[in-house]
Amino acid sequence: MGGGGGVFLSKKTVFWITVDSSNTQVMRSVPETGGAVTNITSVSSNKCLCGFYVSAGSVFFSEFPLANGAWGAVLKVPVTGGAVKILTNQSFRIAGLVVSGKGVFFAGNSSIYRVSTSGGAIQLITKSASGAWSLTQAAGFLYWYSLSSGAIGRVASTGGAANDVSSTSTYTGRETVKVPAFPDGVIAARVVTKITQAGALGDPYGSGTRSIWWVYGVGPVKIEFDHAGGSAAPITTAELQSTNQTPAAVPGDSDFFPLVQGTNFAYRWTNTKHLPKPEVDRFTIDAVVNGTARLKLVKATGPINAAGSYGFSKRLDGVTNLWGNTTSASSIKFPPLGPAGASAANRNHFVTPLDLLTFGLNPILTPYPAVGDHWASSRRSNDYSTYGVDGQTKIVGMQSVRVPAGTFRALVVRSTLTQRGFPFGSGTRTCWFAAGKGLVKLVFAHRDGSVSTVELVK
């Protein structure tokens, strides 16, 4: 079995998804002969718990938001309940899934993908699965139902006949490379890509390791493809022979928002009017896949009893916030936030220090942050439908800043935000980002006269 919900029988236990009185989707189980019901896991009311599959003592399931954002995740949890582990986060909705061996196959983005049951990089199986929703497998094939066409599709679990290619790329740093166009050498960024041509069974020529050396202002100057097939396999090399382009000044290579799994950090947050007693929240980066990370709030100390997680992604458009799911049981009453068109239950709330950082507009940082970079909100964006904020951001300079965690040379990023009708959601936000550390300080001067201050404690 598998697919987009339903009932699953495994080892004399029945698993199913239901909705409780608070409109929360809950995954439950009960012995097939009847007995006590076990609540395995649940998702908040703004998410859809979609496909699920039981295998090897775990329940594998997918989730995606019901509104405000296109993303999806594949996760697993022990059949008895407990800690949930994220296997992959993607920037598209993930529907049905099925487990075979050590692979989780899932549908999304009009394609079928595979991820290891322990997590990691995803592999494209086929990109010819338009509207794929429910998914199952048998005898080495994957079958899906297309929600858009009503058709049933099939593909070999090893990959499609169209020779679909999957890959994972890693930036390894800068180095000097010599090619005929630049015989004296030129600084290049090297990107190494692991490539698998899934559909070419028995012929590994299309699979292997490719290195590309990129020169800023010129493009690729050298390509080296080490084909799979053992020590005697060929290596294909291409080098730039001549060009009328001149290398441009290389942008900064500092990482002002590192996303490293296992990193722990803590922030102290105060507000001069509404939060005089500090709130200290401790976070961990508990999952990183394909440049996307989940930051989880692991401990909240202070007047706000909060819980939640956030998703951040690093792509060609910079550092962006994908989601933020938080809850709190606070005695603190902050001024209201918008957007004005949303119901009171669906308006924004500042629950953790990261809400102050992600509020308003993306990106948080440009791909290669430099003094003078600037960007603005768009009323056609998903950010505007979520926050209702008109704003603009500019990188204004470098500055030394002292916080409880130490003294840092930091990039200063300033945003001017206006959430019409909501002074607490309007004002000037200044952030300090340190290379290799991330956000170390934030000051939000709200238009209600209060000031929120966030500092890195550890």
For residue range 45-60, what is the model confidence (pLDDT) as tens digits? 677 778 899 998 999 9
288 φψ region: left (φ > 0), alpha (ψ -120 to 50), beta (else): beta
User: Poorest-confidence range of 5-9, 51-55, 359-363, 442-446?
Assistant: 5-9
pLDDT at position 92 is 83
- Which residue has better confidence, 208 or 148? 208
Show Cβ contacts of residue 324 under 8 Å, excluding neighbours closer than 6 positions: 308, 309, 310, 311, 354, 355, 358
pLDDT at position 165 is 66
Residue whose structure tokens are 């890195």: 456
Predicted confidence (pLDDT) at residue 148 exceeds the cutoff of 80: no
Q: Sorting pLDDT into bands at 50, 70 and 90, what band is 163?
A: very low
The answer to whether 255 and 194 are in contact (CB under 8 A) is no
Q: Measured at the alpha carbon of residue 190, what is the angle toward residues 189 and 194, in degrees to the nearest 5?
A: 150
pLDDT, mean of residues 89-117: 89
pLDDT at position 18 is 85
CA distance 181 to 241: 5
The answer to whether 408 and 292 are in contact (CB under 8 A) is no
Predicted confidence (pLDDT) at residue 405 exceeds the cutoff of 80: yes
Residue whose structure tokens are 């979609």: 50
pLDDT at position 215 is 97
CA distance 100 to 125: 13
Sheet with 38-43, edge to edge strand ranges: 7-10, 13-19, 25-31, 38-43
Between strands 38-43 and 47-55, the pairing is unpaired
The answer to whether 270 and 318 are in contact (CB under 8 A) is no
pLDDT at position 430 is 98
Predicted confidence (pLDDT) at residue 160 exceeds the cutoff of 70: no
pLDDT in tens, 292-350: 899 999 999 999 988 889 999 998 889 999 988 888 887 788 999 999 888 877 788 89
Residue whose structure tokens are 């997918």: 62
CA distance 432 to 439: 6
241 φψ region: left (φ > 0), alpha (ψ -120 to 50), beta (else): alpha
User: Poorest-confidence range of 2-6, 169-173, 441-445?
Assistant: 2-6
Predicted confidence (pLDDT) at residue 290 exceeds the cutoff of 80: no
Q: What is the mean pLDDT of the chain?
A: 88
Between strands 94-100 and 275-289, the pairing is unpaired
pLDDT, mean of residues 218-230: 92
- Which residue has better confidence, 281 or 10? 281
Residue 447 CB neighbour total at 10 angstroms: 15
- Which residue has better confidence, 302 or 21? 302
pLDDT in tens, 417-434: 999 999 999 999 999 999
pLDDT at position 162 is 45
pLDDT at position 11 is 85
Cα atoms in the Cβ-side hemisphere of radius 13 Å centred on 316 = 0
* Domains contained in the chain, CATH given: 7-162 (2.120.10.30), 167-239 (no CATH), 264-456 (no CATH)
Cα atoms in the Cβ-side hemisphere of radius 13 Å centred on 359 = 32
pLDDT at position 68 is 55
Sheet with 264-271, edge to edge strand ranges: 318-328, 306-315, 292-301, 275-289, 264-271, 451-456, 438-446, 427-434, 406-418, 390-403, 374-376
User: Poorest-confidence range of 144-148, 221-225, 349-353?
Assistant: 144-148
User: Poorest-confidence range of 37-41, 338-342, 345-349, 364-368?
Assistant: 345-349
Virtual torsion, Cα 16, 20, 25, 26, nearest 10 deg: -50
Percent of the chain with pLDDT over 70: 94
Q: Sorting pLDDT into bands at 50, 70 and 90, what band is 164?
A: low
pLDDT, mean of residues 285-295: 86
pLDDT in tens, 234-274: 999 999 999 999 999 888 889 999 999 999 999 999 999 99
- Residues 323-355 as b/e (b if ≥16 CB within 10 A, e otherwise) read bbebebebebebeebbbeebeeeebbebbbbbb
Predicted confidence (pLDDT) at residue 1 exceeds the cutoff of 50: no
- Token digits of residue 442: 């934030």
CA distance 402 to 259: 22
Q: Sorting pLDDT into bands at 50, 70 and 90, what band is 3?
A: very low
pLDDT, mean of residues 12-36: 86
pTM exceeding the 0.85 threshold for the entire prediction: no
